[in-house]
Amino acid sequence: MNVQTKIKYQPTEREQAFLDSIVNAKYDRQIVAGLKKFYDGKVPEDMQGFYSADELDAIKKLKEEGNDLEARMPVKITRHYFERAKKSKPIQVLVKASPREMENLEGSEDPGKQMSYSPVEGLIHKYELGLIYVVGTCSAHCRFCYREELIAKKEVERPDGTVAAKGMAQIIDITNYVREHNKIVDANGGLHPDTGRERLREILMSGGDPMVLANKNLGAWFAALSEAGVESIRIGTKEMAFYPDRFDETFFDMLDKFHEAYPQTRLRFMVHFNHPDEFLEKDEDGNYIKLPEGGLQWVESTKRAVTEFGKRGFTTLDNQAPIIKDINNDPDALRIMQRELRRNKVENHYFFCGRDIVGYKAFNVPIEEVWRILNESQKGLSGVEGHARLSITHYYGKTEVVGVTNDPMPGVKGGENGVIIMKLMRSAEDAPKKGLFTVMGRNPEAVWFSDYADRVIYDEAGLFEVRA
């Protein structure tokens, strides 16, 4: 079991001065959490038809049978996202609970076996990047959430055999760990003597969504991580889609003051748009609206937020999103999204194949199909618009789906139906394995690594040596 220290974190004078300058604001996200208000007719009038009576009955029946859909993944929506969902079937699928989630509950309670990489409660240390859980909720909830165990507060097994819900990161524990790790790495010529890992240069603040925290809490993390020598801080957030008004004047004022106090630290916002309906306006016929000056018309508050980020050179915006059944397995939607994001200074970083969360078969598109969809979507895009890679997260680390052949591979045993090639982009367990390849015979039905276990042709990366 990880041990959390009880000693209080002491900010430096510089930190304290920065913290004292931050203004918190109040936000009214008009969140509806849970289905009860829908059952009881207590949601605002215009939301009342969002779930049909049949849908609610089916979900209720499942609960009575012991299959509580809200226990798998809590239900939550903001007013802003409801307004988007009203006009968009894909957005409805993203946010509305559905009985199909419960049809097959196969999957992992701890996708990626993250607890194997958690030396301190709330920290996942893989690579030169550490991920910290700073909060256990988001403004709204995606049904396919790959952090369902955290959001639903499920208990997960740890490597020492104990079972407990994942805890949140504490500033003092994380900064102590970063300092200690980096000290050992520096003393050993740049690599950790036991793990081969480099300095912890980057920390990804995640959860849940860090943007549900107040400005002062965000600022406290930013300053403490900078003081500990972290060079760049990533913030994983879907708030730009769920509640873009969160990126208000007080927030950008905090960012500017942070930059004044810590000019050496970069802030990388990893945003999460799945579909252009989340940020583009449509006309009465359901078409995106072309602007005379070029491009398409954005939702005003989202556009404002993106524009403010664009004015600040110390911040970047990168989009990364999974490709999920009936939400964005649509090349045309993905093409529009990639083009519009890049036009507005949001990089297209990664697209992901769905993870092996509990119930993943309701959400995941077959891996080879995702490859085809992404490639199709990038036809007609320029090089800078279409450079997002397709990744699937193995227990070992992030892999890139590099290619899927259409034709058989002559002379290659197992390649009679073509092959799929994966590259290990980041290896948490064995850093030197980064960049190595695995080749498998094609399986058009495969939604997870295990579906390729019987058709491995060449496994330089060792993806099939460990439990996938």
Report if residue 142 touches ligand SF4, rule: CB under 6 A.
Answer: yes
Burial bucket for residue 328 (CB in 10 Å: 0-12, 13-18, 19+): buried
Q: Which of 43, 47, 138, 296 binds ligand SF4 (CB under 6 A)?
A: 138
Q: Are the C-beta atoms of residues 401 and 393 closer than 8 Å to each other?
A: no
- When asked if residue 362 is in the footprint of ligand SF4 (CB under 6 A), the reply is no
Whichever of 135 and 223 has its CB closer to ligand SF4, that residue is 135
Q: Which is nearer to ligand SF4, 31 or 151 (CB)?
A: 151
Compute how many residues bind ligand SF4; rule: CB under 6 A: 11
Contact window for ligand SF4 (CB under 6 A) among 50-58, 139-147, 428-436, 449-457? 139-147
Nearer to ligand SF4 (CB atom), residue 151 or residue 336: 151
Helix 13-20 vs helix 215-227: crossing angle, to nearest 10: 160
Residue 115 or 140 with smaller CB distance to ligand SF4: 140
Which one among 29, 72, 147, 349 touches ligand SF4, defined by CB under 6 A?
A: 147
Rounded distance between C-alpha atoms, residue 245 and residue 114, angstroms: 32
Q: Would you call the peptide bond into 208 cis, given omega within 30 degrees of 0 as the criterion?
A: yes
Closest distance to ligand SF4 from the beta carbon of 272 (Å) = 6
Stretch near ligand SF4 under the rule CB under 6 A, chosen from 13-21, 121-129, 135-143, 214-222: 135-143
What are phi and psi for residue 206, nearest 5 degrees?
A: -140, -160
Stretch that binds ligand SF4, among 15-23, 141-149, 181-189, 445-453 (CB under 6 A): 141-149
Task: Give me the least distance between CB of 147 and ligand SF4, in Å please.
Answer: 4
According to the binding rule CB under 6 A, does residue 234 interact with ligand SF4? Answer: no
Residue 121 as a binder of ligand SF4 (CB under 6 A): the answer is no
Q: How far is the CB of 242 from ligand SF4 (least distance, A)?
A: 7
Stretch of 145-153, 299-307, 396-404, 444-452 lying at the interface with ligand SF4 (CB under 6 A) = 145-153
145 touching ligand SF4, by CB under 6 A: yes
The reply to whether 75 sits near ligand SF4 by the rule CB under 6 A is: no
Q: How far apart are CA 157 and CA 19, in angstroms?
A: 37
Alpha-carbon distances of 130 from 157, 184, 204, 221, rounded to whole Å? 20, 16, 6, 14
Exposure string for 127-144, b = 16+ CB within 10 A, e = fewer: bebbbbbbbbbbbbbbbb
CA 227 – CA 15 distance, rounded (Å): 8
CB of 30 to ligand SF4, least distance (A): 18
Indicate which single residue of 80, 113, 126, 141 sits in contact with ligand SF4 (rule: CB under 6 A).
141
Q: Report in angstroms how near the CB of residue 145 gets to ligand SF4 at its nearest.
A: 3
Do strands 32-33 and 76-77 pair parallel, antiparallel, or not at all (unpaired)? antiparallel
In the bound state with ligand SF4, the residue whose beta carbon lies nearer, of 244 and 386, is 244
Closer CB to ligand SF4, residue 72 or residue 141? 141
Q: Which is nearer to ligand SF4, 151 or 422 (CB)?
A: 151
Binding mask 37-66 for ligand SF4 (x = CB under 6 A): ------------------------------
Query: Min. distance of Cβ 328 from ligand SF4 in angstroms?
Result: 13
In this chain, which of 29, 72, 181, 238 binds ligand SF4, going by CB under 6 A?
Answer: 238
* CB of 13 vs ligand SF4, minimal distance in Å: 35
Taking the complex as a whole, how short is the minimal distance between the CB of residue 150 and ligand SF4, in angstroms?
A: 8
Contact between 270 and ligand SF4 by CB under 6 A: the answer reads no
**Cα distances (Å, whole numbers) of residue 394 to 96, 154, 403, 427:** 28, 21, 17, 9
Looking at the DSSP bridge assignments, the partners of residue 456 are 440
Confirm or reject binding of residue 431 to ligand SF4 (CB under 6 A): no
Is position 72 an interface residue for ligand SF4 (rule: CB under 6 A)? no
Sites for ligand SF4 among residues 148-187 (CB under 6 A) = 151
Binding status of residue 29 toward ligand SF4 by CB under 6 A: no
Pairing of strands 266-271, 76-77: unpaired
What residues numbered 284-313 form the site for ligand SF4, per CB under 6 A?
Answer: none
Residues in contact with ligand SF4 by CB under 6 A are 138, 141-142, 145-147, 151, 208-209, 238, 272
